[in-house]
Amino acid sequence: MSNIENKVSYLDNGDSTRMLPEVLEEILPYLSEHYGNPASLHQFGLDAEEAIDSARSKLAEAIGAKPAEIIFTSGATESNNLALNGLRYQFPDKRHLIISPIEHASVDNIAKRWSREGWAEVTKLKVNSEGFVDPDSLRSAIRDDTLLVSVIHGNMEIGTIQNLTELGEICREKGVLLHSDCAQTFGKIPLNIGELPVDLASFNAHKMHGPKGVGALYIRKKVKVRRYFEGSPQEHGVRPGTENVPGIIGFAKAAEIAIRDMDKEMKRVDELAGRLADGLMEIEHVGFNGPPVGKNRLPGNVNITFRYIEGEAILMHLNIKGVYVSSGSACSSTTLEPSHVLTAIGLLHEDAHGSIRYTLSRLNDEEDVQRALQVTNETVKQLRAMTAFIPEKHSKHVDENAQTFYKHKND
């Protein structure tokens, strides 16, 4: 590694991760000598088909599913689109959709579009201040014409991990399908989708040290989903188009490694995140967003509000000093809208704008934590010194309460 690279702390693993060398090694032959189309009937084609079949079996095993229940896609965005639109075309009479208010943009924007176009009525569930979906709001939202309930498993911004067993049982009771976006949880926490009351689930590779541009949709046997774009009959006729063979091979490898090392690596990542969170909470006028580290929260996720400063300003200063983070989520950080996740858990717009997300992975270490703490401290001081107005008297009480509350929650 170069010197410059050593001075960078990449703490944006919630947006994407570095591919592991073992994964890259597995992929390389499929970018060179193994170039057959899996649909071709000669030896090169058969070899490619066999490689995909084997990857499908590995991946199915990794999530506790059957190979026939896995559809390879271009990523979690496509998987979410295929799940929702696939069901829409399968059940055109069901015109009611239920989602959580903290979904990834790829689900949230489908809901917005269906509602705008008059295709479906959308109900958003209630979440509490840590982002957990209120089961009662789900129970009372389900109707006879409900097409689907879609609830993200691990939230990309505040790390909340939903109780899919509880939510899925409510859906089962009422005879409604449940889809869950598992892009953030897969490879980080144990996941046995076959045993959960979940009917469809979305995954991708690049959040778990695999390649970008590849993902999967799990569709439980007996659940019918109609393809929503046309082509040849790949992927059981549900997802046409020549498969991303190298991507699929890398995805299966990344999943295998993540599961093999999960206990050890995720424990270490959570310890790092805990120290980072504790250190950041020592700074004045801060708020801690989401559940306590280590308790139904994605390993490595820390989300902090720095009051009276813009998140973008912090992000840019940290960037110059070699600490890479994100404000809100990458998808919303180019707009001026505050993060819909942070506002859903009750943050004021100005507090949502002052929030920074640090996401650690197995490739981070104590040095990254120390650098992030030092650089964030300096940056916050600098930016606050430029801020004309800090309502000291008014906020002091509130902030002290926030810090006491944090300590109490995390003991």
Ligand X SMILES: *Cc1c(COP(=O)(O)O)cnc(C)c1O
Q: Which residues bind ligand X (CB under 6 A)?
A: 75-77, 104, 106, 152, 156, 181, 183-184, 204, 207, 215
Burial class (CB in 10 A: 0-12, 13-18, 19+), 354: buried
Residue 198 sits at φ, ψ, to 5 deg, of -125, 135
| CA-closest candidate to residue 138, choices 106, 163, 108, 109 | 163
- Nearest approach, Cβ of 77 to ligand X (angstroms)? 3
* Rounded Cα–Cα distance for residues 34 and 298 (Å): 37
In 301-394, which ranges are E strands?
A: 301-306, 323-324, 355-359
- Judged by beta carbon, residue 184 or residue 332, the one nearer ligand X is 184
Rounded Cα–Cα distance for residues 286 and 288 (Å): 7
The CB-of-289 to ligand X minimum distance in angstroms stands at 16
Cα(78)–Cα(258) distance, integer angstroms: 22
Strand partners, 181: 202
Tokens of 231: 């082509």
- What is the smallest separation between the CB atom of 17 and ligand X, expressed in angstroms? 10
Residue of closest CB approach to ligand X: 75
Per annotation, catalytic residue among 24, 283, 330, 331: 331
Q: Which residues of 370-387 are buried (b: 16+ CB within 10 A; e: fewer)?
A: ebbbebbeebbeebbeee
Nearest distance, CB of residue 404 and ligand X, angstroms:
32
- Please identify, using beta-carbon distances, which residue of 49 and 243 lies nearer to ligand X: 243
Closer residue to ligand X, CB minimum distance, 285 or 362: 362
Tokens of 71: 């559809």
Q: How many Å separate Cα 274 from the centre of its chain?
A: 20
Closer Cβ to ligand X, 73 or 305, answer by number: 73
- Which residue, 76 or 273, has its beta carbon nearer to ligand X? 76
182 carries an active-site annotation:
no
Q: What is the rounded distance in angstroms from the CA atom of residue 52 to the CA atom of residue 244?
A: 9
DSSP H helical ranges for 188-347:
245-280, 311-320, 340-344
**Least distance CB 359 / ligand X (angstroms):** 10
- Choose between 333 and 370: whose C-beta lies nearer to ligand X: 333
| Least separation in angstroms between CB 316 and ligand X | 22
Could you give the residue numbers annotated as active site?
331
